[in-house]
Copies of this chain bind each other. A is one copy, B any other.
Amino acid sequence: MEIKEQISLMAKTAKEMAPAIATAKTDVKNKALKKIAQGLKDQLASLLEANAKDVAYAQEKGLSKAMIDRLTLTEDRVEGMINNLYEVIALPDPVGNITKMWLRPNGLKVGRMRIPLGVIGMIYEARPDATIEAAALCLKAGNVVILRGGSEAINSNIILGNIMTAALVKAGLPEKAIQVVPITDRDAVLALLEMEEYIDLIIPRGGEGLIRFVTEHAKMPVLKHYKGVCHVYVDDKADLEKAKKICFNAKVQRPGVCNAMETLLVHEGIAEKFLPDMLKTFSQAGVEIRGCPKTCNLFPSAKAATEEDWPAEYLDLILAVKIVADMEEAINHIAKYGSNHTEAIVTENYSRAWEFLEKVDASVVLVNASTRFNDGNQLGLGSEIGISTSKLHAYGPMSLEELTTTKFIVFGEGQIRT
């Protein structure tokens, strides 16, 4: 069968399975999730074996150390996947909730009922744990899912797919409700992106290149973020102790992730007092500083920042630093160079806190807290399937509720329109 035909068949089957999953009761979906957890335990050996093949091939191909690390499964990581499944089981099921209900003058009772989106296509890169995470959230929210992981993880993903298929059957659900695309050819991605008739939403996760490719070619809506160019603005009314802790955490705790700080903006009124000590601490932690001219004056070991540094997502121990005249300049800088992902202000001033919150357009805006909190678990939503900077129903971390929509339900007693 040709790739396009094969993908089309998968997508059509997915659509056909959607009603059964959409109306499955919570306890049946939870049973399937438990059976997946059980399957991961039972088949640990063959999963690690398949993963070892992927890793060996990745080493042969000379993939980066970071890539190979993300690809590698260990007993601990599988344990983590199992724990994640139990977290999803514990989350309340959003499907069927009637979020509002009101009475019309003609006696019609109108409500909004939460329903699954339908069929979700996930397109992602190396991490095989994402295969389980994404499938678990989609299933719990009543959606059918088609998973297209990176070609590097194909052996791992096929085993994971088999474990999930068996679990669905054990729970009495259709096995095709979760499908792993077994084709590593990029044409399989292209074919998926054409299936507007069958797939309701595409969620890509990975590097900017992958995401731009998906957005360029998808005929259906895409929820995604390209990158996280996150700022912390330290106001002249900031508590500098808090500022130091927050900035250090935002940059250093895990520099390779999308919610890490990439640029530090500092009000000129406290720059002299705050920056030398702060930048020294950063330097000692191995952070390379790229500063505006004023910053370089205050901290001579900084490199001079160029125009390319302001929109850069380093994902590394590098930090751009700019001294600004006031909050307005900070907000304008963020509007120009930010990526609508995560933005924070450190200030003790009430009016500035609110002004920053209201004016800055980002999926998460924080006052006096680290940018690292842009995360489903950290914000209290539970496990997440990714972070959206697309402005649709999901702007920010996407957990169960973001994988649903609502339909209108109307109870009448024979009303007609006049």
Contacts and interface: CB of A to CB of B under 8 A. Distances in A.
Given A393-B392, A407-B395, A414-B245, A221 B221 contact: yes
Contacts of A113: 357-358
Given A196-B215, A215-B196, A392-B393, A249 B22 contact: no
Contact of A245 (B245, B378, B416): B416
A391 interface: yes
A400 interface: no
Interface in A60-96: 96
Interface string A370-405: 101110001110000000001111111100000001
B393 A393 contact: yes
Interface string A6-27: 0000000000001100110000
Given A113-B357, A201-B391, A391-B118, A413 B368 contact: yes
B373 A335 contact: no
B96 A417 contact: no
Contact of A249 (B250, B379, B410, B417): B417
Interface stretch (A102-110, A144-152, A284-292, A302-310): A102-110
A92 to B, nearest CB: 14
A239 B415 CA distance: 13
Contact of A412 (B19, B108, B368, B406): B368
Contacts of A357: 113, 409
A102 B390 CA distance: 24
Interface in A231-249: 239, 241-242, 245-246, 248-249
Contact of A373 (B392, B406, B417): B417
A363 B18 CA distance: 16
Interface in A249-303: 249-250, 253
A2 interface: no
A415 B370 contact: yes
Contacts of A396: 406-408
A410 B364 contact: yes
Given A201-B391, A396-B407, A366 B253 contact: no
A359 to B, nearest CB: 6
B23 A410 contact: no
Contacts of A222: 221
Contacts of A366: 409-412
A367 interface: yes
Given A366-B410, A368-B414, A379-B410, 15 more contacts: A22-B361, A23-B358, A102-B380, A221-B390, A250-B416, A253-B418, A363-B407, A364-B409, A365-B407, A368-B412, A370-B415, A373-B410, A374-B408, A392-B405, A393-B405
Interface of A: 18-19, 22-23, 96, 102, 104, 108, 110, 113, 115, 117-118, 196, 200-201, 215-216, 219, 221-222, 239, 241-242, 245-246, 248-250, 253, 335, 353, 357-359, 361-370, 372-374, 378-380, 390-397, 405-418
